[in-house]
A and B are shown apart, each in its own frame.
Chain A
Amino acid sequence: MTALPTPDADTFVIEPEGLSALVEALCHEGYRVVGPSVRDGAIVLGEIASANELPCGWTARHEAAAYRVERRDDDAVFGWAVGPHSWKQELMPSRVRLWRASSAESVEEEPPPGRPLALFGVRSCDLHAIAIQDRVFLEGRYVERDYALRRTGAFVVAVDCGEPGGTCFCASLGTGPRADAGFDLALTELVSTEHRFVVRVGSDTGREIARLLPVRAATDADLEAALAVTDEAAGRMGRRLEAGGLRDLLAGNLEHPRFAEVAERCLTCGNCTLVCPTCFCTSVEDVNDLADGSAERWRSWDSCFSTEYSYIHGGSVRRSPRARYRQWLTHKFGTWHDQFGTSGCVGCGRCITWCPVGIDVTEELAAIRAGDGEVDHAHAR
């Protein structure tokens, strides 16, 4: 293998050593590289310094309310579907300081993060989730400064999915399993014969980084094998969702009896919204120092499952668990279309896996569709 002097080709192949070289190159170029590793019994995201930290030879089993990491019988690095973390924790961290003030005259905005981010191993569903958050935070009337600072200049290494999880349904929504846009480099891992990665270039920055890697030209066989990975994965989704017409279906079924049934099971714990890679609700709070009188403003994750979040003069507008679950489901799959022009769901399955009682959006939506038009007279006004 030799480094391509000018990798004009938009597609090429790297070996496992090339993957190590990619992590090194990104670190060397000054990126804070965030990628997957096995920790606390899960495949989670965090800063990595070398490809040795990647979950080589690991996979995970997903079901509603159940997740287990397991060894694979090969050395696949990406042979698993998205875990409990999402890139949201990097792009809109759970708690960030927005500004500090030592007096009314001196308000200092939080300085930009030191190093640009490199997101290493972003799945197609999550590329779509990032695109949705971009729309919310960057493309509306107001730009979210903190998000913009983290997002701008972030390098994205996407990975096609060959091992969909038991709760995945991106294929139903057209958001995966193959990365189609929004990356600098995209990898398809091939493990069956020779362990290798077919790499697609998605941007000029991606091409610059690719120049630093030991690569070889992709053959037709490589390209065919790469396409087969995602074609085959699309047929093995753990869940499916009939996505057509959901907006109107939900708008017409706000008093559906299913909402009272799901509220019996729902813990209103908020896990679904916090693991969801598109959920963006936050609250803002001020803190002050006891001694010197300085003050700070912090932004932290919040959720439509908290009563405080919907507290307006006179009380919370969504007191019952039924109202809170309905808000989550109808916003994500219905009114999001009105607000942002797409579905708010990308089919990653996290809310199903990580709901402690296994409430499943695909099952809830199917039940509402099956009983389209039913009215819960006990709750309807």
Chain B
Amino acid sequence: MSAVATCPKLAVWKFSSCDGCQLSLLDCEDELLAIAEEIEIAYFPEATSGEIEGPYDVSLVEGSVTTAHDVGRIQEVRAQSALLVTIGACATAGGIQALRNFVDVGEWIPLVYASPEYVSTLETSTPIADHVPVDLELRGCPISKAQLVDTVSALLHGRRPRLATTSVCTECKARGTPCVMVAHGTPCLGPVTQAGCGAICPAYARGCYGCFGPMESPNVAALARQWRELGAGDDVMLRALRTFNANAPAFREASYDHE
């Protein structure tokens, strides 16, 4: 990956999402000033009303594709962006709203909305990469601030971003957290989940919830056998797999075994 131009233009786009990941960018208070000095924030409706026309050097894309309008818009974003980086579980896997992929949306809409005739939506919620080529993915629900700052900094300087694809366990071990599966008997998704959060939940004696989606070689079936030993059966595993990353292929396929 080559370094982007001096004073590159950055755009932040929102699709179907809660805005939490964009807010992570705003939350980088200290680093944001430095970022703002080095790059031109060309489009970021969450933060500024100004708008600078494309093309853009880097686009950060939050959210999943859930409407026919989204399908067209992501093509436009891609066409205007030299580098397209998806941020968060919605953009990288379809998000919590991808739970619709497991049911009949038509049946659900009248149960949820008083005036279903105003709702125009696709049957599925899908990640950005299902529609256009993506250069980099920042996982998580929400993303990690540290990974975001590091990635922007890496792109600005033509350095390789540090995005581990190993298990959350590697982060537990690095920070010295005794394993909650082994030491407490608490079911944990860490062994099949990608590192990046810093193993926050096990540090508070909770099992990992899988916010960062599947790690590089997830063996969900083997983990599920161990969960069963710990008393967590199919229903618990099904619920654990069908959360923020329900539509990530490794979690989705494994979840059918627990229906």
Contacts and interface: CB of A to CB of B under 8 A. Distances in A.
Interface of A: 39-42, 44, 46, 65-69, 83-85, 89, 94-95, 264-271, 274-275, 285-291, 300-301, 303, 305-308, 321, 353-354, 356-358
B101 interface: no
Contact of B37 (A67, A268, A288, A291): A291
A269 B176 contact: no
**B contacts with A: majority SS:** helix
Interface stretch (B67-75, B114-122, B187-195, B250-258): B187-195
A306 B170 CA distance: 10
A267 B176 contact: no
Interface in B174-188: 174-179, 181-185, 188
B183 A356 contact: no
B153 A307 contact: no
6 shortest interchain CB distances as A-B pairs: A42-B178, A274-B173, A94-B174, A291-B34, A269-B191, A267-B191
Contacts of B83: none
Contacts of A42: 178, 183
A74 B228 CA distance: 35
Contacts of B182: 65-67, 84, 353-354, 356
Q: For A287, A307, A356, which residue has the most chain B Cβ atoms within 10 angstroms?
A: A356
Contact of A274 (B165, B170, B192): B170
A270 B170 contact: yes
Nearest to A94: B174
Contacts of B192: 267
Given A267-B167, A274-B173, A301-B170, A41 B178 contact: yes
B131 interface: no
Interface of B: 31, 33-35, 37-38, 149-150, 152-154, 156-157, 159, 162, 164-167, 169-170, 173-179, 181-185, 188, 190-192, 205, 215-219, 222-223, 225-226
Nearest to B152: A290
Given A268-B217, A270-B167, A307-B216, A41 B183 contact: yes
24 contacts: A40-B178, A65-B181, A66-B185, A67-B182, A67-B183, A69-B183, A94-B173, A264-B219, A264-B222, A267-B167, A268-B167, A270-B166, A274-B169, A287-B153, A287-B162, A288-B153, A289-B34, A289-B153, A290-B34, A291-B33, A300-B174, A321-B219, A356-B190, A356-B223
A367 to B, nearest CB: 17
Contacts of B217: 268, 307, 321
A40 B199 CA distance: 14
Contacts of A303: 166, 170
Contacts of A94: 173-176
Given A66-B185, A301-B173, A286 B159 contact: yes
Given A40-B205, A274-B169, 20 more contacts: A41-B184, A65-B226, A83-B178, A94-B173, A95-B174, A266-B222, A269-B170, A274-B173, A285-B162, A288-B159, A290-B34, A290-B156, A291-B33, A291-B37, A301-B173, A303-B170, A307-B216, A307-B217, A354-B182, A356-B182
A376 B117 CA distance: 60
